[in-house]
Structure 1
Amino acid sequence: MHLKISLRIMDGDGEKVFGSGVVELLRKIEETGSLNRAARSMDLAYSKAWKILAEAEKRLGITFIERTIGGAHGGGSRLTDEGRDFLERYEKFDRRVRRQAEDEFAAAFPEWKKETEG
C-alpha cells in the first residue's frame, strides 16, 4: 500500500490555478530556456502551454516568465525572480505537506510499510 498526494491551488470557484503541471512546465522552461521547447518536451501544444501559463499568471497576479521575441539569436523564455520565488515556495510547501502526510499515514496504518508515491 502507498499514499498518493496531489496538491493544487484552487480559486474561489473551484477551478485549478496552480499545481504539478504548471510546476513541471516552469521547470522545463528553466531547463530549456523556451516555452515552446518546454511544451514539446511535455507533449503539449505550444498554445495549450501558453494558455495554462497565462491563466496561472492572471489568477495569481504573478509574472512567471519573461519572453523575448525572435531576433538574430532567436527568442526564449526565462523565469522572473517573482516566478522563481513563488515556484520555490510552492515546492517547499509541497515537500512539507507530503512529509507530514506520509508521517500521518504511517501513524494511522502502521501495519503497512512506509511507501509513498508523488
Structure 2
Amino acid sequence: MEFSTEFDARIGHGDVTLTERDVELLRAIDDHGSINAAATALGRSYSRAQQRIVELEAAFGELVTRTRGGSGGGGSQLADRARTLLSQYDRLRAEFTGVAETAETVLSGRVVDRDGELATVETAASTVRALVPEGGESVRLTLRADAVTLQSPTESPSADRTSARNRLEGTVSDIDAGESVALVTVDIGGGVSLSALVTDASVEKLDLRPGTAVVASFKATATRGVPAAR
C-alpha cells in the first residue's frame, strides 16, 4: 500500500485518475475545438489522446461532446462534467500549493561527503542526500511537504529501485485535515518531525491515523540546504 504525496494534483474515480497531463489535454481541446488539434498542439499522438478521453469518460462520464463533420465542419467541445472536474482540480491544486508553501520540514546537520552540489548530510534523524552549495560543514536543510511520499514499510521499494533515495522510517503523529488535503506529521526519530501532504480522501481510504508506521521518501533534488547561521 502506498500513500503518494509527491505533488501532482489528482482526482480519482475507481481505478482511473485524472492527472495534470489529462487536465492539459482537456484544456487544449477547449482551446482548439477538437481532440486532433489538441493532440497536435501538445505534441501527442491523436490515437492515444482519443483513447485517454475514452478511459476518462468510462470513469467520470461524458467529458467531450463530439460533432461530426458537415457543412460547418466537425469538432469537439467540453461537456459540463469536464468543466466541473477542471474546477475541482484547480481548487485541489490551490490548496496543495498554499499548504505546501507554509509547511516545510527543517533539518539541521553536518556535511560528511560531497559530490559537487550533491552532499551527504548527517542529521539527528538520519543521513540524507541534499543539494547544498559549498560554504561550510554545518547546514540547514528544508523540504516542502508536497515533495514527500509515504509508503507502507512492508511494501516500500528498495533504494536502488526508486529515484527517491532519501528514506526515513517513522510513525504518523498527527493529521490536520483541511477542505481537500491533509497535512500529515511523521515522527522520524531524534526529536524530528517530517511533514507530508495527502488528500483527505486518501487519508480515509488508506486508513492513516496516529501510530501508523510509514516510510517517508523524498528525492535529494527536493531537499535544499544552506550554510547554517553562526
Q: If the TM-score is normalised by the length of the shorter chain, which range does it land in?
A: 0.7 to 0.9
Unaligned runs of 5+ in 2: 1-5, 108-139, 147-230
How far has the Cα of 1:11 moved from its partner?
5.5
Asked whether the equivalents of residues 10 and 16 of structure 1 are also in contact (C-alpha less than 8 Å), the reply is yes
Q: Partners in 2 of 1:109 and 1:30 — Cα distance?
A: 42
Asked whether the equivalents of residues 64 and 77 of structure 2 are also in contact (C-alpha less than 8 Å), the reply is yes
Distance 1:10 1:85, change over 3 A: closer
Q: Partners in 2 of 1:90 and 1:11 — Cα distance?
A: 13
Query: Aligned to 1:6, what secondary structure does the other structure show?
Result: coil
Q: Partners in 2 of 1:17 and 1:5 — Cα distance?
A: 14
Asked whether the equivalents of residues 17 and 55 of structure 1 are also in contact (C-alpha less than 8 Å), the reply is no
Query: Aligned to 2:44, what secondary structure does the other structure show?
Result: coil
Q: 1:47-58 residue pairs with structure 2 within 5 A?
A: 47-58=47-58
Q: Which residue of 2 aligns with 1:8?
A: 10
Query: Aligned to 2:72, what secondary structure does the other structure show?
Result: coil
Query: Aligned to 1:27, what secondary structure does the other structure show?
Result: helix
How far has the Cα of 1:10 moved from its partner?
4.4
Task: Report the AA paired with residue 34 of structure 1.
Answer: S
Q: Which residue of 2 aligns with 1:41?
A: 41
The alignment of Structure 1 onto Structure 2 pairs a total of residues equal to 108
Q: Partners in 2 of 1:69 and 1:22 — Cα distance?
A: 23
How far has the Cα of 1:73 moved from its partner?
1.9
Distance 1:16 1:58, change over 3 A: closer
The structure having more radius of gyration, on CA atoms, is: 2
Query: Aligned to 2:103, what secondary structure does the other structure show?
Result: helix
Larger relative contact order (Cα-Cα within 8 Å, sequence gap ≥ 6): 1
How far has the Cα of 1:93 moved from its partner?
1.2
Residue 111 (structure 2) pairs with residue 109 (structure 1): no
Deviations 1:68-88 (A, max 9, x none): 011112111111112111211
Q: Partners in 1 of 2:92 and 2:17 — Cα distance?
A: 16
Give structure 1 regions of 4+ aligned residues with deviation exceeding 6 angstroms: none
Q: Partners in 2 of 1:67 and 1:11 — Cα distance?
A: 23
Q: Which residue of 2 aligns with 1:25?
A: 25
How far has the Cα of 1:92 moved from its partner?
1.3
Q: Which residue of 2 aligns with 1:93?
A: 92
Quick one: percent identity of the two aligned structures? Answer: 32
Asked whether the equivalents of residues 9 and 89 of structure 2 are also in contact (C-alpha less than 8 Å), the reply is no
Distance 1:8 1:52, change over 3 A: same
Q: Which residue of 2 aligns with 1:73?
A: 72
Deviations 1:5-47 (A, max 9, x none): 22233455xx552100110001111111111100111111111
Query: Aligned to 1:74, what secondary structure does the other structure show?
Result: coil
Q: Partners in 2 of 1:63 and 1:40 — Cα distance?
A: 22
CA RMSD of aligned residues (A): 2.5
Q: Partners in 1 of 2:65 and 2:55 — Cα distance?
A: 15
Unaligned runs of 5+ in 1: none
